[in-house]
Structure 1
């Protein structure tokens, strides 16, 4: 009998939603609210019960509606919109007479146009290698007039690696980076660590690549076999030393050596390596932070097993792989790929062009103000939880967490918020010279070299924090428009691509849509800062003494046990999923909320249901790829967050027997 009542209640709920949730719009009504509501409703599968399968109920029809257009997530929608606008800007630049010498627009246009028009021969691996030698006075073995005459005794693998590092190849054999100092976020330091390596696929693929570079067919297969053998040995050696290559849990720092000390211990002449990379003298007293000393100690022994021409060829193939993986390196000069080359290789210029030519300063200011308003509400919501002190922390610990929370900031876009963006980006690309002659390899190498130089310049304090947060990373990512948290600045960076529906619109968008999706995303990044890994960092981004062993607190352990009752692949992400939804919900519906909570006239869907349906859109399609590392499937993640939201059952009239209405709901903070 109870089961019959449950089914009847669910049918009534579904019928009520189906009858009242469509948009009564005028023929030309294209407001932000209508657009977002339509976006939400067309993904809903109302044959499912929200109390049993909320993910399916909220997003179940997504695949049939959007995947045919190669849209797999909200960020895909953002990318499509951003690319359309940036493409329009580039099309306008085509007919523009550049009156200002070396303007940002001219440099962007030259790079983009070179990508479009350069002959296929200028994208060949061989052409790249003709432009970048293994050393200043040493060509690659394959380019010697006679292979037997290549001067093996003049080859130094570490110096060749340094030459390639100047173009951004930072993750081969040795990984060297410039990163913020964990103990003093105002400074940067040099780290030398064990690389994250990927194995060569197979001998035949490497052999084919060698032939395209110019290796004789009769020699390509034997050489490829040696390269794969070396690669496998390095891969296995790296894996063996992963356990040793860990952060010191006691003080969050790695071993620090002077270059002289490191050379005595490992036999590696890193002094000359760094001189080549940085382009200036480096003395033996220069200090570097090392993660993976045992790995460094064993490198020479492995590499000395192979002839110099084999090691040189190995680095050559690694460099080609690095370059060929970058957008724009494809042989056809595809406009979409060339647009990506601008976005990913000249990301600061891409953001500036989008700001100045599409958003305009006034609109950007409105967006930024709205983001700040929502973020302050999210902070206040979490502050309320800290003050209730569910985890029974000491007064000093609560005070430290509140100080850290209140100091958190959000930055819109990758450019420093207080700087003049036009001046900043112009200075950033000062010295970039791109020929009018269409040679794509040459243009790309110049862009990569300047980009790498700017990353390395951070060691000398090139960018003042007084102008706002700004940090460069060696890795050239695919720039998925998702927020990310940077501990050194105690800040969240919101990608500029996200300034549009369904996340945020400045004109007419109801607060329920703003706070649900954007508020939830900001809450997720905020809570990342309050995971055990980041908790010891203070409000200035410096590693301190407070809460170092937070993961062992009994109340926190009990909360994790509750969440892990249904086993998860990543407990830390489940904590973030669950807590963030509650924070965003309370920020909007809490008693101190300043947001508009009136039922909107564009829909009859109750406001609280609409809020949760909007949040659910982040979990549609294949959004799991947006999270680094292992994570549960999207349906598991969303349903776990929903089932632990105290208000959910009431919002959707769920019976006590419903899957997503457990008697015991987990609370962390």
Structure 2
């Protein structure tokens, strides 16, 4: 009897533990969805008619506030910065094996803090850097060097130097910092959630692109449609900007294998060594076929040849809630993915032709926003502000189709925690996140008439043909 009682006691403990874990998961699910719903519904103006005045329906009395998307991005980046700072503070007093990721990152962080305390924080744009850089560049052919210098110029526009040591380390040792962020902050479960959820959304959006291209509404030559479809088949995503086919710690150790940060190096010297390392990795990348070395640049680019990189900043709360309803997750990252697919179109085409982009976009445009546009580009690949604003409406239609199509596999049932219809929630969240600037823009003349022509929008809000 005693043995049976013990077994029953242990079974009871496991049952209670399982129920408590399930209850905790459910509470997180409800909390995240409540937060999203609050942000959506607080701005909604129920007295406005979305078929006539979507501006006041979507953003109501908050039209002069900071756009929701910008606020979420700001909060997301602030939260990430705080988490990185806390991570580096925890690491700085530890003892690590020489040459380990923890050793290199903590050395750079501690050296930066020491330099700031002594007031001798320096930039690495001095003569030594130029001399050493010249020696390295002279070993490569000139065409490779030109591409490298152009990329470094672009990098300098994206990653300005900072007196914040956490941001400096996060920038100068991107992969090292990212690995420690995955291991110590996100954790294995959150990383797996990202790795499983985002690719599903990406695949659904690609299918939506393909369905429209295959309909060939412009009656383009089949060879051109085939080329467009082939382009879509070649696009991949990378969640977190780390290689998906390699162990992340092994990859990072290989990347920094020839980096030697000495204990007596000052900040200037360490940054010089890191800059030279990035130079070598970039030149190695430019000297190799694109497909053989897709993850060697120590900087987070949105589109890296045929790969769309999705930094964790874009997946941080409140931008992306891993326990939120699928429709909210889809909206959270779908616009970015669709835009990056379009951005990748001419990145992959050495003989870029604006006519190709125009045909590509117009083939996707089921609501005929660009029907009468001859070209969507001016000054090579640069689009006008008005075209960019209108493009968000085409993307809205694409994303809606991707989520609500019968074969999408996503949850189309009505959420039990709200009476607002699922499709209405979709349009509300998208409008508030991505159409705020467009709605308030001087370029929105006549746009009140565009959304009601979108069949899905008209159906959701019961818009009549005379709206």
Same fold by TM (over 0.5)? yes
Give the equivalent residue in structure 2 for 1:158: none
TM-aligned CA deviation for residue 457 of structure 1: 2.6
Structure 2 match to 1:256: none
Do the aligned residues in 2 keep the contact of 1:72 with 1:623 (CA within 8 Å)?
Answer: no
SS of the residue aligned with 1:586?
helix
Q: Quick check: 363-372 or 376-385, which moved more?
A: 363-372
- Write out aligned runs for 1:169-208 (5 A): none
- From the CA coordinates, give the structure whose radius of gyration is larger: 1
Question: Who is 1:395 aligned against?
Answer: 222
Q: State whether structure 2 residue 286 is matched by structure 1 residue 459.
A: yes
Change (3 A) 1:108 1:48: farther
Where does residue 327 of structure 1 map in the other structure? Answer: 161
**C-alpha distance in 2, partners of 1:399/1:91?**
53
Residue 137 of structure 2 is aligned to residue 103 of structure 1? no
Contact 1:48–1:57 (CA under 8 A) maintained in structure 2: yes
Counterpart of 1:550 in structure 2 is 356
Q: Tell me the matched-pair count.
A: 422
Tell me the distance in 2 between the aligned counterparts of 1:555 and 1:62. 32
Asked whether the equivalents of residues 69 and 432 of structure 2 are also in contact (C-alpha less than 8 Å), the reply is no
1:314-357 deviation digits (Å, cap 9, x = unpaired): xxxxx9xx79x8433x4xxxxxx221112222211221111111
- How far apart, in 2, do the equivalents of 1:384 and 1:87 lie? 45
Change (3 A) 1:278 1:412: same
Match of residue 377 from structure 2 = none
Cα separation, partners in 2 of 1:388 and 1:615, compared to 1, 3 Å: same
Matched-pair contact (CA < 8 Å) for 1:36–1:501: no
Identify the residue that residue 278 of structure 1 maps to in structure 2: 137
Offset of residue 571 of structure 1: 5.4
Aligned to 2:418: 603
> 240, 253, 261: which one pairs with 1:426?
253
* Aligned: 1:512 with 2:318: no
Which residue does 2:112 correspond to in 1? 115
1:608-627 superposed Cα distances (whole Å, 9 cap, x missing partner) = 11001222343377799xxx
Q: TM-score, normalised by structure 2?
A: 0.75
Question: Which runs of no fewer than 5 residues in structure 1 stay unpaired?
Answer: 1-25, 136-161, 167-272, 293-318, 331-336, 535-540, 625-630, 659-669
Change (3 A) 1:423 1:109: same
* Distance in 2, Cα, partners of 1:111 & 1:634: 47
1:163: which partner in 2? 131
Is 1:501 equivalent to 2:323 in the alignment?
Answer: no
Asked if the contact 1:512–1:611 (Cα under 8 Å) also holds between the matched residues in 2, the reply is yes
Give the aligned partner of residue 258 of structure 1.
none
Change (3 A) 1:608 1:343: same
Aligned mates of 1:120, 1:623 — CA distance in 2: 48
Distance change (3 Å), C-alpha of 1:448 and 1:642: farther
Cα RMSD, aligned residues only: 4.3
Structure 2 stretches lacking a partner, 5+ long:
1-25, 148-152, 375-382
Quote the Cα distance in structure 2 between the aligned partners of 1:418 and 1:582.
33
In proportion to residue count, which structure has more helix? 2
1:619 and 2:444 aligned: no
Deviations 1:264-315 (A, max 9, x none): xxxxxxxxx5xx24363x6xxx4628999xxxxxxxxxxxxxxxxxxxxxxx
CA drift at 1:396: 2.1
Structure 1 partner of 2:143: 288
Deviation (angstroms), 1:389: 0.9
Alpha carbons of 1:88 and 1:548: their partners in 2 closer, same or farther (altered >3 Å)?
closer
2:12 is aligned to: none
CA 637–471 in structure 1, closer or farther in 2 if over 3 Å, else same: farther
Please give the alpha-carbon distance, in whole angstroms, between the structure 2 residues aligned to 1:33 and 1:553.
39
Distance 1:636-1:414 versus aligned 2 partners, 3 A rule: farther
- Of residues 485, 491, 502, the one that matches 2:303 is 485
Post-superposition Cα deviations, 1:599-655, rounded to whole Å, max 9, x if no partner, equal 10111111111001222343377799xxxxxx9679789978745533223322345
Task: Return the alpha-carbon distance in structure 1 between the equivalents of residues 277 and 341 of structure 2.
Answer: 33
1:117-138 per-residue CA deviation (whole Å, 9 max, x = no partner) reads 324442257xx67xx4379xxx
The aligned counterpart of 1:33 is: 33
1:42 is matched with: 42
**Pairing 1:338–2:165 present:** yes
Q: Aligned partners of 2:218 and 2:371: how far apart in 1?
A: 14
- Structure 2 equivalent of residue 582 of structure 1: 397
The change in CA–CA distance for 1:593 and 1:116 in structure 2 (over 3 A counts) is same
- Where does residue 267 of structure 1 map in the other structure? none
- Pair 163,501 (structure 1): closer, same or farther in 2 beyond 3 Å: same
